[in-house]
Structure 1
Amino acid sequence: MAMASKTRNMLEGLVREGSFKWLLGSRSSFNDEVEEMGKSPSARKNWIQELSPVANIVVRRCSKILGISTMELRESFDAEASDSIKHPSCFARNFLEYCCFRALALSTQVTGHLADKKFRRLTFDMMLAWEAPSATCQPLLNVGEDAAVGIEAFSRIAPVVPTIANVIISDNLFEVLTASTDGRLQFSIYDKYLTGLERAIKKLKCQSESSLLSTVRSSRGEKILEVDGTVTTQPVLEHIGISTWPGRLILTDHALYFEALRVVSYDKAKIYDLSDDLKQVVKPELTGPWGTRLFDKAVLYKSISLSEPVVIEFPELKGHTRRDHWLAIIREILYVHRFIHQFQISGVERDEALSKAVLGILRVQAIQEISSAVPLRSEALLMFNLCDQLPGGDLILETLANLSTSRELDRTNNSVVEGGMYSISALAMVSNLGFVFGTSPDVPNEAGLVVGEIAVGKMTMLEKVVKESRSNYKKVVLAQETVDGVKVDGIDTNLAVMKELLFPVMELGKLLLSLAYWDDSRKSLAFCSIFTYIIWRGWLGYALALILIFIAVFMALTRCCGQGRPVEEVKDINIVLLKLRALLLVIFPQASLKFAMALLLIAVVLALVPLKFMVILTFLETFTHYSPPRRASTERWMRRFREWWFSIPAAPVLLEREKEEKKRK
């Protein structure tokens, strides 16, 4: 009774004396609730002493959504949460998260919730409360319309609603949204972003319910994600060999379709399947009239099912924004299906993965609406694109796959998930939006058992892996800055000339790489067997002599053909040498230690293993890297090596210019 009386007197005093002015600033959504809490006996009863005023108001809203009192929410939290999560030092924030998770899981089941101004404001106010959850926190200066939140609050609350963000891309999304506001997210921008999301969802529904490709995509229940080429001022051109056709390009969650334009209609769609394992390659390409390579505005697609590559061009007057957008979203669908094949994901978890990719593309479309003046790096907002680029991105995908396996086991064992302690899943989210992925009729029922990426009061394994990957990425960025800092005029020209002169050798290298990558298993097996026999018989010296003679002849011929061409003097040393110098000078201790250990290991092998056996083992090791049994492990280790190499800074070099240049300056 004494505590209730104290709370009542405190609230009445705050309202009467105007002590909430620091909280309210200008008239905001909090005003009426603060006044009501000061007057209502039930509101005073549900005031939680450990929470800040802002957190109390947000928790009160959550309790109204759930239809239970704040005290009942606290009792549920005490029953479900572990002792570490309920510890007084972190109780306020963890209890706030628990209330937010439960309320959002229920409110997102309402059709059109993104269009609801109250829902948008609720999610933003949750972020405000997350920044100052405890009664001991420094009070916020303002929670009115001009309030702003930081990256930690956004990255914690926004991924709870998978439509808005996810753990992997949340930091990048926040940076895009706050590009013009000094790293703090304002509600006005956040509101525009959610408005764009709502429009993107409506567009997806309209396209998927339209008659476009209806007979082709019905069997797999494909969703149309993007369409281009319908406006005559922005055509899409398909190049196959020397043939070029304008037409309409359509991307679904399974394939890319191109319909060539005729006089009054479109031809039957050509299908470029992204869901099958066809060793597809999707990359930027140059195009131009009569086969010239002038304009960087196209995407090249090739697979083992096509006799020759297909080039899709996106003409525009300036830049290559359209091409970059299409390149990113095509790759996102390709990469999500690679992820599904690699980890053999099926059933509900397969639909969950596809849902994540689709929601990523919707977010990109929403961002394009509000930041059309600023070039957008779409791949940074698409999680499967991002995992392909980030150091340790394959570990992020592996963690996602492990989560999928564990959730599948939970469903098999009928395990009960603590609904309030986890965020909702992407599949549950898209089901609430009115979409059904896959062809299994029991997906909607099982979707509720798939938990999301955030857990109350702790970092999930996925969050830990993403955090470590971002930390490593910062090291790579710093190392790249040192590389850019040592580049001077002349090196690019020099490298271009070297490539020109060594073109035949490079072609030979491509042939050897094709054999090493086992693109044609029969040729690679024959090559490997022949060279192993040559080494075993001791004919290696003769074989190497012939190869060197062949290379020398080609270099001589290409050098003769290149006579008369201007070749500038080399004014810099190669970046590779700079990085090796950094390793030897121990500028980057961790990398240097690994390098030294590798040198010691090589020295031991050279000292103990007979030369003939060492050469045979080296040859077999090199030319079986990408054989079918070893391909997966080789790709993983090569990725680790590239990430290590890119993280090494280039050693600084002081270059002395000629006196004439100094005088001229």
Structure 2
Amino acid sequence: MAAPDYAIPPLSPTAASVVHRCARIAGVEVEQLLRRFEPEKGDQPLAYARSVVEYCSYIALRVETKRHDYLSDSEFHSLTYDMMIAWEAPDDETDAALQKMSFSFVDGKDDDDCGSMFCLSPTQMAIQVDGRRTVSPEAFAKIIPACPAMAHAITVRNLFDALTNSTGGRLHFLIYHKYLKCLDKVLRFAKRISGGHKAPALQLSDGEVILDIYGAATTKPILQHIGTSTWPGRLTLTTHALYFEPVSVDFSYNEAVVYDLSRDLKQSIKRESTGPWGAQLFDKAVMYKSSSTREPVFFEFPQFKGHTRRDYWFAIIKEVLHAHKFIRKYRMINLHKAEALSVATLGILRYRTVKEGFHILPAHFKTTLAFNLAEKLPKGDKILEALYGQMKDYSSRFRVDEDSVQSSSDDLTLADPFPLSAYTLVNMGLLTLKEEDNPEEWDLTVRDVQTGGTSSVQMALERSVGYSGRVEAARATLDQVKVEDIDTNVAVLKELLFPLIEIGKRLLFLAEWEDPLKSYVFLFCFLFIVYRGWIWYIFPVFLLGSTIFMLWQRHTGNGQMIGAFEVTTPPRRRTVEQLLALQQAISQLEAQVQAGNIFLLKLRSLLLAAFPQSTNKVAATMLVASAIFAYLPLRSILVLIVLEAYTRHMPARKKSSEKLVRRLREWWLRIPAAPVQLLRPQDTRRWRSRLRSR
């Protein structure tokens, strides 16, 4: 509880205490700090109090984050946690209401579900006796993005959900403290490998940062599969490329093979199954393919149980690819490019922190990787557009001059001259910028924050998340209707296409002239439609009718769920029957492919005049067809084609049509196929030379 002389109306004691601590960190008097704050007109007391807490917190965080060791400082952990509590309860009324709510929550906990202390982890047991108040997602999202190393505005809500996965949607201090300690550990490890300790001997370009290494121990290598070849080695991911170093016989690493991620090489990356000699046995691999590789490259991440290691590497490689796609789209250079890569770098380090510290691997709409999330969310391009505008706009933000801090004068200006994610990496020793790009030490401040309002990135994110709820609901319906067994899926497909199948049967019935009266009526109706020029209105009328039908269903349905689509499932086959059916289907497919090859080879022989008499006939026919298409209108050609196909089985034409088809078939059988020579693949290259050629 704050001391009485800390009182700052209308702030709560906790908020007043935070303001005093912020003023002390900034090196100015509280009155001076508050005097420089300019609230918006018409602010309510609660909004005014929150804006004061935000302003003072950002000023203090601007100063605190200049230290290299702030993530390992327990006092910094307590300060930022108190900032979030103060923002959530900035005035006395809100503070009292939240305290009452927290006490009622603790007293009303139900111990029926795993109430024994033996069911809890050490962290959960400590939370049970922790007397500090918890933090809401709104407070976390408002304060923490001011420190780019700790969170980003795009993924801050997902990060909060990951941290509070087992605490009911409220953040406890012990969880928050553990997160910052793990993050500091991950950042220190990244600095060590970038500084040369345990780092691979790679030729890195300027500004290239090592993000992660797998297979550093020769006893636990990664396996690379290319075709039927397999080779163990070490995989390194940087902000620009993937490096694979094969292990030699003496357990040393050979020259690295580089897979560029920064250029537009039409790269694709997927989760795949792999195994020895190309067999798809283990679902633990990542497939990489680009225009610079002759065939797909598979990186297998051996794991005794599960495939979380593969999923982690798949996500971080995708993040680097999406970051460079974002850079190319907006043609970023210099500081803008460094900032985009820094956002991806810090996101990957936080992703690794959540994985190692909390054993959680957020995916899809819950991922903590900014560019991956923007690519997955509906209208995510609007989020990236807002992010680019924010990077471009170096307008007014929070700044404390060196003279202000040292002399405690009344000169607290607002500016934002430099991207903070890049500066965070510079401050931590992970990134080196050009001399002209390095800012003055006291010219750095917060970018992704805004007092008393919502940034463009946050607004775009909120709209996108609103659409994502509909996508999740639609995806849930997909999981419900997916059925196994090929016979059942075929039965469902037939039922869905039943109207089209029936229409096709009716048209075939009319074209067979089994009922001449109906066939004549249909033919005369079609000719009348063509004569009046109505044929071009068939498709618009179909679209109009479909629209009227859907609107009528919407009007009469009143938003009710449609009835289930009923399908009669075929009898289940035994395993032997399924294998025989599969063999028969493969044989039929092979026969169809052979027939297609024969057709193409016969066309080749006609084009190359291997059978001169037939070539002359085909050339004459094509000459007549070209003249018809050149001089007759398209409508007349369409009528002739339909009449020829429809009246082929007409009683007056049936005999002549059958005779013509027979003569064409006999002529086609007399045409020889072009010869084919099958060559053995001359694969005499060594696997290692194939690697180096990449």
Q: State TM-score, norm by structure 2.
A: 0.63
1:147-166 mapped onto 2 (5 Å cutoff): 147-166=133-152
Distance in 2 of aligned mates of 1:320 and 1:58: 45
Distance in 1 of aligned mates of 2:57 and 2:564: 54
Is the CA contact (8 Å cut-off) linking 1:422 and 1:451 kept in structure 2?
A: no
Is the CA contact (8 Å cut-off) linking 2:420 and 2:447 kept in structure 1?
A: yes
Shift, 1:380, TM fit: 0.5
Distance in 2 of aligned mates of 1:167 and 1:608: 59
1:70-469 mapped onto 2 (5 Å cutoff): 70-78=30-38, 81-83=39-41, 88-139=45-96, 140-141=98-99, 145-210=131-196, 212-214=199-201, 216-217=203-204, 219-232=205-218, 234-262=220-248, 263-372=250-359, 374-377=360-363, 380-407=367-394, 419=414, 425-439=420-434, 441-445=436-440, 448=443, 451-469=446-464
Distance in 2 of aligned mates of 1:65 and 1:319: 48
Does residue 1:50 correspond to 2:10, yes or no? yes
Is the CA contact (8 Å cut-off) linking 1:63 and 1:69 kept in structure 2?
A: yes
- Aligned counterpart for 1:653 among listed residues 564, 580, 598: 564
Shift, 1:434, TM fit: 2.9
Shift, 1:115, TM fit: 0.5
Is the CA contact (8 Å cut-off) linking 1:237 and 1:313 kept in structure 2?
A: yes
Distance in 2 of aligned mates of 1:460 and 1:574: 51
Distance in 1 of aligned mates of 2:143 and 2:200: 38
What one-letter code is carried by the residue in structure 2 that aligns with 1:165?
A
Identity of aligned residues (%): 38
Does residue 1:483 correspond to 2:470, yes or no? no
1:54-69 mapped onto 2 (5 Å cutoff): 54-69=14-29
Shift, 1:366, TM fit: 1.2
Is the CA contact (8 Å cut-off) linking 2:416 and 2:446 kept in structure 1?
A: no
Distance in 1 of aligned mates of 2:208 and 2:7: 49
What one-letter code is carried by the residue in structure 1 that aligns with 2:14?
V
Is the CA contact (8 Å cut-off) linking 1:105 and 1:424 kept in structure 2?
A: no
Distance in 2 of aligned mates of 1:228 and 1:649: 52
Distance in 2 of aligned mates of 1:360 and 1:424: 15
| RMSD over aligned Cα atoms | 3.5
How many correspondences in the alignment? Answer: 475
Shift, 1:189, TM fit: 0.7
Is the CA contact (8 Å cut-off) linking 1:148 and 1:185 kept in structure 2?
A: yes
Distance in 2 of aligned mates of 1:102 and 1:228: 40
Distance in 1 of aligned mates of 2:494 and 2:17: 61
Shift, 1:433, TM fit: 2.2
User: SS where residue 110 of structure 1 aligns?
Assistant: coil
Larger Cα-atom Rg: 2
Distance in 2 of aligned mates of 1:232 and 1:305: 28
CA spacing shift, 1:264–1:87, aligned 2, 3 Å: same
Is the CA contact (8 Å cut-off) linking 2:213 and 2:235 kept in structure 1?
A: yes
Does residue 1:492 correspond to 2:450, yes or no? no
Shift, 1:59, TM fit: 0.8
Is the CA contact (8 Å cut-off) linking 1:259 and 1:270 kept in structure 2?
A: yes
- TM-superposition CA deviations, 1:176-196 (whole Å, max 9, x none): 101111111100011010001
Distance in 2 of aligned mates of 1:650 and 1:451: 49
1:491-510 mapped onto 2 (5 Å cutoff): 491-494=483-486
CA spacing shift, 1:350–1:443, aligned 2, 3 Å: farther
Report the counterpart of residue 597 of structure 1 in structure 2.
none
Is the CA contact (8 Å cut-off) linking 1:114 and 1:120 kept in structure 2?
A: yes
What one-letter code is carried by the residue in structure 1 that aligns with 2:17?
I
What one-letter code is carried by the residue in structure 2 that aligns with 1:485?
Q
- TM-superposition CA deviations, 1:298-345 (whole Å, max 9, x none): 111111122222111111111111111111111111111111011101
Distance in 2 of aligned mates of 1:417 and 1:307: 59
Shift, 1:486, TM fit: 3.8
Shift, 1:158, TM fit: 1.2
CA spacing shift, 1:53–1:353, aligned 2, 3 Å: same
Distance in 1 of aligned mates of 2:416 and 2:562: 49
Distance in 1 of aligned mates of 2:533 and 2:310: 55
Shift, 1:473, TM fit: 0.5
Shift, 1:359, TM fit: 0.4
CA spacing shift, 1:382–1:458, aligned 2, 3 Å: same
Is the CA contact (8 Å cut-off) linking 1:52 and 1:132 kept in structure 2?
A: yes
- TM-superposition CA deviations, 1:443-501 (whole Å, max 9, x none): 344994675122011001111000101111011112222333344xxx3323xxxxxxx
Distance in 1 of aligned mates of 2:247 and 2:153: 41
Is the CA contact (8 Å cut-off) linking 1:421 and 1:455 kept in structure 2?
A: no
Is the CA contact (8 Å cut-off) linking 1:160 and 1:423 kept in structure 2?
A: no
What one-letter code is carried by the residue in structure 1 that aligns with 2:41?
D
CA spacing shift, 1:270–1:445, aligned 2, 3 Å: farther
What one-letter code is carried by the residue in structure 1 that aligns with 2:427?
N
Distance in 2 of aligned mates of 1:306 and 1:438: 32
Structure 2: gaps spanning 5 or more residues: 104-129, 398-410, 499-531, 541-558, 573-694
Shift, 1:423, TM fit: 11
Distance in 1 of aligned mates of 2:336 and 2:140: 26
Shift, 1:573, TM fit: 5.8
What one-letter code is carried by the residue in structure 1 that aligns with 2:564?
V
Distance in 1 of aligned mates of 2:79 and 2:478: 46
Is the CA contact (8 Å cut-off) linking 1:422 and 1:455 kept in structure 2?
A: no
Distance in 2 of aligned mates of 1:577 and 1:649: 24
Distance in 1 of aligned mates of 2:496 and 2:472: 17
Is the CA contact (8 Å cut-off) linking 2:347 and 2:370 kept in structure 1?
A: yes
User: SS where residue 430 of structure 1 aligns?
Assistant: helix
What one-letter code is carried by the residue in structure 1 that aligns with 2:343?
K
Distance in 2 of aligned mates of 1:197 and 1:162: 12
User: SS where residue 448 of structure 2 aligns?
Assistant: strand
Q: State TM-score, norm by structure 1.
A: 0.65
User: SS where residue 233 of structure 2 aligns?
Assistant: strand
- TM-superposition CA deviations, 1:336-357 (whole Å, max 9, x none): 1111011101111111111111
